[in-house]
Structure 1
Amino acid sequence: MPAASVSHRHSYSRIPLARQLWRAVGHDRNPLCRPVDRARSRLLLTVTVAMLLCVAFSTLLALTRLDGMVAQAHRTAQHRHQVTATTLAAAGSDSLTSAATSAKAAWDYPPTDHRTGVVPVLAGTAPGVRISLWVDDSGKPAAPPQADRRLETTAGMYGLGVFAVTGAAVWTGRAVRRRVLDRRAACGWEHDWQQVEPLWSGRSRRPENGEH
């Protein structure tokens, strides 16, 4: 690639964004502006709009997912009940290697039903300790309702994942198109240089003397 082409590409990257966008919509009347320069500016405008659309799209999907998870969490919460259980035995033997383990406990739910089972407890829990326990409508231990903050975090991570995928696709397309435009610009410079170099160097004005 000629040095002039490399220099022009670097100088193009230093053109202010506003001017490039102005050029992209066809309002730059600079006589030195080539079609490939306008194509580069249109590419910049397209990528800018596409990235903004990626942000809007990923945000919309994240909010939609959040609404769905919140609705599901509220429906689940209607079938979760917090009761007080009493441990019947010490925590399991794995309590020395983990902060959480399990132990046998007893609780009442519905209030007329006495139940026992193995429930999660902190390591080192002794018999006779009262703990909070979440159960379902049948009285079996169940996962607690999900907190809204956790749902927001999950939806936010989902939105970031969507943005990462769509943004990467846009940036890949931009890189491919930019390479095509760079090659077109290089060919243009080579052609122009072949036309200008004899005049610039004075070779076209030299008498025929067998020199090349």
Structure 2
Amino acid sequence: MFAVAATHTSPASHTSLRQHVRRAVGRDHSPLCRPLDRAYSRLAAVQALTVLAALALAAVAALLAFRVETHTAEQIARHRHLVTAVTTGPAQADNPRVGSARDHAPARWTYPAGPGTGTIPVPEGTRAGTAVPIGLDDAGTPIRAPKATEQIASDAVLIGLGTVSVLAVVTEGVFALRRRTLERRADTSWEAAWERVEPGWSGRR
């Protein structure tokens, strides 16, 4: 996803990351090391750090999402009460043209807060007068079951992957622009050097 990339015009195409870091901090004292080489190495070092930072942010985002969703599920479970409702009509799909795994039906139920009525999800083909277990909150309003731990973990992983993907697109665009700038500088520097060397090399002096 992220990569310490170097194009064919880069003067540090086959330089290891360790060498990039040494050069970026000014510890490469080779007489062949040019300022442009150091600029490429700084870019490569920053890009490597960005990879680590992106992975860390993705892990934090995933962990935070997992904790928040787990807390929400615990709160729902703490205030959710199972009662038995009785359907007062047959099951009907929300959209008959599409069809669904679970239909809905009108129903009534009894709860300490008082009797209640409403539309509840039921299995396909449920008839009127069928007893169906439902979950109610403290006020007697139907609520869905809390997410299972497996679903919460799956959602957290997706959030982590989404975070990495977004950071990858943004940072890769920034680094691509910077690499393009350095490549133009490399081309300009090479052309200027060639103009000085070529007449003597070709014998046109």
2:3 is matched with: none
1:202 counterpart = 2:203: yes
1:209 is matched with: none
SS in 2 for 1:166: helix
CA contact (8 A) 1:51 1:170 kept: no
Distance 2:114 2:39 in 1: 76
Which has the larger displacement, 15-24 or 122-131?
A: 15-24
Distance 2:38 2:28 in 1: 9
SS in 2 for 1:28: coil
1:105 is matched with: 107
CA contact (8 A) 2:10 2:186 kept: no
Which has the larger displacement, 100-109 or 46-55?
A: 100-109
Aligned length: 197
SS in 2 for 1:145: coil
Offset of residue 96 of structure 1: 5.5
SS in 2 for 1:203: coil
2:165 is matched with: 164
Offset of residue 138 of structure 1: 2.5
2:31 is matched with: 31
1:49 is matched with: 49
Distance 2:95 2:76 in 1: 31
Return closer, same or farther for 1:63/1:33 CA change in 2, 3 Å cut-off. same
1:173 is matched with: 174
Offset of residue 44 of structure 1: 0.4
Q: How does 1:98-137 map to 2 (within 5 A)?
A: 98-99=99-100, 100-110=102-112, 113-137=114-138
Distance 1:8 1:113 in 2: 76
Considering fraction of residues, name the structure with more helix: 1
Distance 1:91 1:41 in 2: 67
Q: How does 1:57-76 map to 2 (within 5 A)?
A: 57-76=57-76
CA contact (8 A) 2:17 2:45 kept: no
1:79 counterpart = 2:92: no
Distance 1:202 1:107 in 2: 101
Offset of residue 25 of structure 1: 3.1
Distance 1:8 1:30 in 2: 22
Q: Which has the larger radius of gyration?
A: 1
The alignment yields a C-alpha RMSD, in angstroms, of 2.7
SS in 2 for 1:109: coil
SS in 2 for 1:119: strand
SS in 2 for 1:27: coil
SS in 2 for 1:104: strand
Distance 2:190 2:94 in 1: 74
Tell me the alpha carbon deviations over residues 33-73 of structure 1, each in whole angstroms, 9 at most, x when there is no partner.
32111210110001110221122123223322332232232
Which has the larger displacement, 47-56 or 120-129?
A: 120-129
1:3 is matched with: none
Query: For residue 133 of structure 1, what is the amino acid of its counterpart?
Result: I
Offset of residue 93 of structure 1: 6.7
- Using the size of structure 2 for normalisation, the TM-score is 0.81
- Using the size of structure 1 for normalisation, the TM-score is 0.78
Offset of residue 181 of structure 1: 0.9
SS in 2 for 1:125: coil
Tell me the alpha carbon deviations over residues 125-155 of structure 1, each in whole angstroms, 9 at most, x when there is no partner.
1234332211112222222222233223333
Query: For residue 37 of structure 1, what is the amino acid of its counterpart?
Result: D
Instruction: Mark the runs of 5 or more structure 1 residues left unpaired by the alignment.
Output: 1-6, 205-212
Q: Which runs of 4+ in 1 moved over 4 A?
A: 93-97
